[in-house]
Amino acid sequence: MIANLGNFSLWLALFFAALQFGVSYRKNNKSTLYLNKISVYSLLLFTLLSFLSLMYCYIVSDFSVSNVYLNSHTTKPLVYKISAVWGNHEGSMLLWILVLSIFNYFIFKLYNKNNIILITKTLETQAFVTIGFLLFTVLTSNPFEKIIPTPTNGLGFNPVLQDPALAIHPPLLYIGYVGFSAAFSFSISAMSVGNIEKVPWYNYMKPFVLAAWTFLTIGIAFGSIWAYYELGWGGWWFWDPVENASFMPWLLGTALVHSLVTVEKKKVLQKWVLLLAILAFLLSVIGTFLVRSGILTSVHTFALDPTRGIYILIFIAILGGYSLLIFAKNSKKFFDKNYISFMSREGSILVNNILMIVVCASVFLGTIYPLIIEALSNNKISVGEPYYNSTVIPIIIPAILIMGIVPLISWQKTSLITILKKTFPSIMLTFAITVTILWIYRSQSVLGFIGIILSGWIISNIVFTLFEQSKIKYGKNKFIKNSVPKFTKSMILAHIGVALLILGITGSSVWQKEKITRMKINDETIIHNYKVIFKEIKEVVGKNYVAIQGNFWIYNEKNNIITKLKPENRFYPITNNSTSEASIHTNILRDLYIVLGNGNEQDGWIVRVYYNPLVVWIWIGAFVIFLGGIFSINSNLKIVKRLSL
């Protein structure tokens, strides 16, 4: 019953999306606005209704719905019944559409008397995108399909996916991907209406780009947290195709956020921004397509149905073909009014933009290279960590060095000597930070050295500029105010977040220690100054699993007990598979990470112990970036509001 309602709502949503698409700009603004209002609100209402219906089916375990039968089970905790809604291909498409119509609503909210043509055209494009995904869902991946006869219980779902970080990871990521659809629509709209209205399209685009980028950041972080805590491999990033699929739009988003600022301030790089906005969204969809269609195998491969792949591919071809054609035809109208000097803030942002694109291109190449090789020669190869480390790191290093300086350079042309003078104190501070940290970790690794310098460099530059700023704010001499660049709270937060992120990445990848050993009860092992004693092993029973749980006592150098770690080996009888739950002790300097492997009383158990320095700073860093993003969305929305006056 409820499932039928959900299905019906989905069709109604399709109808209203089509209506919204039909209401393109007419001379009569009033009717356009009115019809758009009806379609935007109805679209939102019916997608929400459809989504909630599916959620209801999951909550009450309605196994007459095939999707619920395949992905849920009565013994599953409620939270994971709910998150199972988007833990499968069909349900996640529904979530994708819901997020699309939420963004659609926010675009609609931007209407004011000056921008009617721009927003109408944007809504039209947005409606087209929504129709594409709605058709895809109802025709090839309908989540409300029935199964006859009704099974008595579901097939459960992957216990590895029963994790709080993973429950919120997809929604956050989708806000990111779908947010770029708004940037895409604005870009197409700006190019097709040209500069008729003289409205600052970039100001309207910016909050959406920021939202997409901010949520993509935190979404990727949650995925990473899940991999770290749940997979039990001791790492948090594996260059899996699906990770790359989210990382690539993130890189383009980073470039886009920054180049939008230069468009806003200096009216340069307009074409570039228009193109980036298109590419960021196309890459989001292509990435999803690659991992979903089964072209690339990964942990996220849901569906191996080629008709779906062909449908999505045709849709991408239309989206990409249309948008890039408009770009080729119309973007020349957006000529830059100023020249760019390399020694200026806009110049440095451009350089960094290019570096981001290069990183993105090499990640893209690494991801699809196996496919291209296969298409050409029928050989299977795989591209792994060594490739990414040797292509991404060397490009990221100069990008971060520049990132440290950019805030200090003013928008106009600056001389090299001024820059050197300004950065001298921060060079000193960076040096001090680097020496201190290297002394703590006693490392001679070159990469560790570089990582710390980069991180220290960003922080020192921010510290000194803040210092300069406060001197002016509270000092007497107000005349030199303009020579010190203004910092926004959001920029400071985001950049500090990146510094912390680099610190965490460096620590955990360069100084990680790993020990794999077989241990019996009362055996002990040493990892980096810590003594690990295997005290006991026992059985524990969870809601839908049974587990054996080890108890490890950890002592420090002075033989004081620090913590007791209890990694588990869980067995889920419903799906007959087992997972290992790592047990982790975290402080600001390091993580101790224990995974219990297979074994028995006589021979002992295989135990993997990791010493992971500074991991927690990766999550803190990502969260600080997220905060910066949120502040920035807020302040940019204020700017947009002012435009309507």
Where do contacts with other proteins occur on this chain (CB under 8 A)? 155, 271, 275, 278-279, 282, 289-290, 293-297, 301, 304, 306, 309-310, 313, 316-317, 320-321, 324-325, 327-328, 331-332, 368, 371-372, 374-375, 380, 575-576
**How many other C-beta atoms are found inside a 10 Å radius of the C-beta of residue 563?**
17
State in angstroms the smallest separation of the CB of 574 from other proteins: 9
State in angstroms the smallest separation of the CB of 290 from other proteins: 8
State in angstroms the smallest separation of the CB of 317 from other proteins: 5
**Distance of alpha carbon 159 from alpha carbon 580, whole angstroms:** 10
- Contact by Cβ (8 Å): 567, 583: yes
DSSP string over 439-454:
HHHT---HHHHHHHHH
**Cα distance between the two ends of the chain:** 48
Which residue, 311 or 631, has its beta carbon nearer to other proteins? 311
Which residue, 374 or 603, has its beta carbon nearer to other proteins? 374
State in angstroms the smallest separation of the CB of 376 from other proteins: 9
State in angstroms the smallest separation of the CB of 34 from other proteins: 36
State in angstroms the smallest separation of the CB of 364 from other proteins: 9
Which residue, 112 or 577, has its beta carbon nearer to other proteins? 577
**Distance of alpha carbon 505 from alpha carbon 499, whole angstroms:** 10
- Contact by Cβ (8 Å): 603, 518: yes
Which residue, 332 or 476, has its beta carbon nearer to other proteins? 332
604's tokens: 């002992």
Three-state secondary-structure class, residue 389: helix
Rg (CA), the chain: 27
State in angstroms the smallest separation of the CB of 84 from other proteins: 16
State in angstroms the smallest separation of the CB of 200 from other proteins: 22
State in angstroms the smallest separation of the CB of 446 from other proteins: 36
Which residue, 142 or 301, has its beta carbon nearer to other proteins? 301
Which residue, 316 or 358, has its beta carbon nearer to other proteins? 316
Sign of CA dihedral 313, 316, 322, 323: negative
Which residue, 296 or 633, has its beta carbon nearer to other proteins? 296
Angle made by CA atoms 510, 515, 518, in degrees to the nearest 5: 170
The distance of Cα 482 from the centroid of its chain, to the nearest Å, equals: 36
State in angstroms the smallest separation of the CB of 272 from other proteins: 11
Q: Residue 552 pairs with which residues in a beta bridge?
A: 534, 565
- Contact by Cβ (8 Å): 67, 91: yes
Nearest in space to 32 (alpha carbons), one of 134, 101, 124: 124
Which residue, 39 or 293, has its beta carbon nearer to other proteins? 293
Three-state secondary structure of 571-632: EECCCCEEEEECEEEECCCEEEEEEEEEEECCCEEEEEEEEEECCHHHHHHHHHHHHHHHHH
State in angstroms the smallest separation of the CB of 268 from other proteins: 15
**Distance of alpha carbon 285 from alpha carbon 279, whole angstroms:** 10
Nearest in space to 172 (alpha carbons), one of 586, 632, 629, 500: 629
**Distance of alpha carbon 524 from alpha carbon 515, whole angstroms:** 12
Which residue, 77 or 306, has its beta carbon nearer to other proteins? 306
State in angstroms the smallest separation of the CB of 336 from other proteins: 12
Q: Return all residues near 515 (Cβ < 8 A) that are at least 6 apart.
A: 525, 527, 608, 609, 610
Which residue, 297 or 389, has its beta carbon nearer to other proteins? 297
Contacts of range 522-527, beta carbons closer than 8 Å, 24 or more positions apart: 523/604, 525/607, 525/609, 527/592, 527/609, 527/610, 527/611
**Distance of alpha carbon 331 from alpha carbon 192, whole angstroms:** 9
State in angstroms the smallest separation of the CB of 328 from other proteins: 5
Which residue, 294 or 597, has its beta carbon nearer to other proteins? 294
State in angstroms the smallest separation of the CB of 246 from other proteins: 19
- Contact by Cβ (8 Å): 207, 640: yes
Which residue, 572 or 619, has its beta carbon nearer to other proteins? 572
- Contact by Cβ (8 Å): 84, 30: no
Nearest in space to 537 (alpha carbons), one of 515, 556, 565, 517: 565
Which residue, 1 or 375, has its beta carbon nearer to other proteins? 375
Which residue, 310 or 480, has its beta carbon nearer to other proteins? 310
